[in-house]
Structures are given as structure tokens and as C-alpha cells.
Structure 1
Amino acid sequence: MYIYKEWILDAKRNSADITYTELAPAHFADVLELGNRVQGEGYLNLDNLTEYYHRGIKDDINAGIAAFYQDKLVGFRLTFAQGQWDIDQWATPAEWQVPSGEVCYFKCNTVDPAMQGYGIGSTLLNKAIDAARRQGSCAGLAHIWLASPGNSAYRYFSKNGGRLIKKHPNKWQYAALYEGYDCPVCDALCECLAAEMLLTFAG
């Protein structure tokens, strides 16, 4: 534990040395560990992570991004390219004010809690936006977890330009019922509220 704390302090002192790269299958084991530790056990597994990875690639452009410090994964973002995700009952395209076929989907943003507050999340988002724009997207949709500590996820996405479209009760209940998801805040069946938010790309 002492060594880990020293590593974190060193990483914070040298945050400029954090590197970013396209997500690759070689990163999957570390992504699974970090994702399930932060988002809740069962949130990711090898099957759905593999699917998410491929949904993020379009025209040989990869919108999945990973962040590292000294070869250790400290964050990642999973993004689905436009036309490669399902517009379901949790989405309200009539309210987006942009063509639905030009909207990517921000599936997951995860940063090691010990490394939050040092710009990793925003950098991951900006790099994903750059990739999504090159894939042909003009905006990105996300379902923001409103049960995050201090509602930090909502504040973070709003700060980066996200606009609230609609709130959806029990967004992750299906995953809790049928996909083995164990919500980190709900004692039993997940009842977390999701905010459908749209971020329109500038320029």
C-alpha cells in the first residue's frame, strides 16, 4: 500500500508524463480490472468489452482511448462510432436538434479514483471527440450516472459542454437483473437515475 501511495504522489507531481493511446486488445485485462473496480462488479466482461471496442472503430479510426502512467492504466474512455450503437428507449433523438445518424455514443469514462482531478477525464473526452469527429460525428450522447459521488459525473460532463436532454429512471436495472451488474451504490436492485446528455462538437 505504501508503495502504491508513493506511486500516486509521483504520478500527480508528473501529470504531464501521462500518456494517451488508442485502446487495444492488449489493454483489456487492465480495463476490466479498473472498470469493474470503479463502475461496479459485472459492469464490464471480456465479451461486452470486445463488442464495445469494435463499435468504437470506423473507417480505421479508433475512438477508444486509454491513459497510462509508467505503463499502468489510469483511465480509459469507450466511445461508439455513429451508426454503430442502438438508439433505444433511453434515448430521445427528437430532442437532440442534430441528425441522429451523426451522433456517437460515449459509453464509459473511467479514471482511477486516486488520479482524479488531474485532467485525465477531460483529456480522454477531448481525444475521443477528435476521433469521433474524424469518423463523421457532429455530437455525442451519454447517459450520465447521477449517483456518482457529489454528482461529479454530471458536473464534469456539463462543464465540458453537455446539455441535459432527459432523465431516465432505472436505466441500469436491466443490467442488474440479467447481465450480472452489481451497482456500487444500490443495496439490491439498481435504481439509479441516468441523465441523457448531448454534447455538440464545436467547429
Structure 2
Amino acid sequence: MGSNIEKCGEAALSTTGSAETATDTITFIQLSPEHFEGVIELGNSVHGDNYLTPELLYKYYNRSFHNNINASWLALQNNTVVGFRLTFAHTQWTQDKWCSPHLWNVDKEKVCYFKCNTVSPLKQALGIGSALLAKSIESAKAQGAVAGLAHIWLASPGNSAFKYFSKNGGVLVRKHANKWRHASIHEGYDCPVCSGYCECEGAEMLLSF
């Protein structure tokens, strides 16, 4: 599905370059197939039915890699997925009509794609979202990226997604009307805020490393 949504997360946490780190009871690991079921369950509960499917997540997982480095991360508590960030390596995604590379002011061939950041509603305001972002940035830089692009969901409660990404360094490039309408019409995406087909506006945002 072509829907791209950024959500949730507060307060930055310190991170390291290891593949697994922990803060309190939250453990951060790179995305792996053994946790696909938990990622899909959380993603669909937050973003709407059919936001993620096994087939989609497998594709997203493969797009996370460059030079054997995985840029997608999970947050686990007692081996349960409480947050995740899906990030496509700069070599693993194609810019489309929702992208404005002429406005990026960076090498457009070295921009990764922040597909989605999701944190369980019960675990927000604990720094999980920002920690996941920091981990993905660290991995993306190791892959060779100089910046990351995201399409931010502007209909999130209190516009929290935009505020979160801005606080972490994201800069607005431009706004796009009906960003996820095609996905809601043709791909089964059920927007959690629109009564019919999705009419939400997406903010194209760039975060330079």
C-alpha cells in the first residue's frame, strides 16, 4: 500500500550504535520477521485497518537494507512490540509525485525514506518515538544517507505527528492534499479519522543529518 504516515513520540533518549539497547523496560532492536505479527497488529490498531499486511511488511523489511545494514527499528517491552519505525534505505525507494526534490537542498540520491513511526497509545510520552528515530538515523547514516524524507499525517490528534517530527529536526517542504486517498480507494486503507475515503493532508518534511 502506498500510504505513508508519521506518528507519535516525545522526548529524546540517548542511543548507541549497537543492534540492541535498552532503557528501563524498553528494548530497541532492528526489525526482524519474528516480530512481524506484532508490528502489523500495532500498526493497524493505530493507523487503521489494512495499513500493514504481511506482504507489505515483508517488502518494507527488504527496503530497509543497504550494505547489509537495517534501518528499521522496533521497541519491545516483555517481547511485545510497543513501537516501530520503518525506514527505507536511500537506495530502496522511488521518489513520486508527492516528493519535491528540487526543494530539498541535499543530494536527492542520498535521502532515505521514513515510512512510518508508530508508538502504542499506552506508551507515548516516554521518549520511544524519538529513540526509534535516532536509531534509524544512525543506521541510515551508516548506509550513506545524508537526510531523510517523511510524509507527516496532519490529522493526528493535536497535530502531534507534525510537532514530534519538527521537534526532532524535520523541516516542512510542502503540503499535499489527499495524500492517502488513492490508498483508501484502491488498496483497502481505512483512515481512522475520515468517514469515507481518506481526505487527509500530508506534510512533506525533510530531516537533514
> Same fold by TM-score, threshold 0.5 exceeded?
yes
Match of 1:77 in 2: 85
Number of residue pairs the alignment of both structures matches: 188
SS of the residue corresponding to residue 35 of structure 2 reads helix
State the distance in 2 between where 1:40 and 1:102 align.
Answer: 31
Once the two structures are superposed, residues 99-119 of structure 1 have per-residue CA deviations (whole angstroms, 9 ceiling, x without a partner) of 110000000000000100000
Amino acid at match of 2:185: L
Match of 1:149 in 2: 157
| Structure with higher RCO (Cα < 8 A, 6+ apart) | 2
**What TM-score, normalized by structure 1, do the two folds share?**
0.91
Match of 2:18 in 1: none
**What TM-score, normalized by structure 2, do the two folds share?**
0.89
State the distance in 2 between where 1:29 and 1:73 align.
Answer: 9
SS of the residue corresponding to residue 173 of structure 2 reads strand
What are the ranges of 5 or more consecutive residues in structure 2 without an aligned counterpart? 1-21
Structure 1 ranges of 4+ moved more than 3 A: none
Identity percentage of aligned residues: 56
What are the ranges of 5 or more consecutive residues in structure 1 without an aligned counterpart? 1-13
The CA deviation at 1:16 is: 1.8
Match of 1:163 among 151, 160, 171: 171
Kindly name which structure, 1 or 2, has the bigger radius of gyration based on alpha carbons.
Answer: 1
Match of 1:178 in 2: 186
Task: Note if contact 1:55-1:84 (Cα within 8 Å) is conserved in structure 2.
Answer: yes
Matching of residue 41 in structure 1 with residue 49 in structure 2: yes
Matching of residue 194 in structure 1 with residue 202 in structure 2: yes
CA RMSD across the alignment = 1.0
Task: Note if contact 2:66-2:91 (Cα within 8 Å) is conserved in structure 1.
Answer: no
Residue correspondence of structure 1 range 1-203 to structure 2 within 5 A: 16-201=24-209
Once the two structures are superposed, residues 54-109 of structure 1 have per-residue CA deviations (whole angstroms, 9 ceiling, x without a partner) of 00011010001000111111000000000211100000000000011000000000
Amino acid at match of 1:93: P
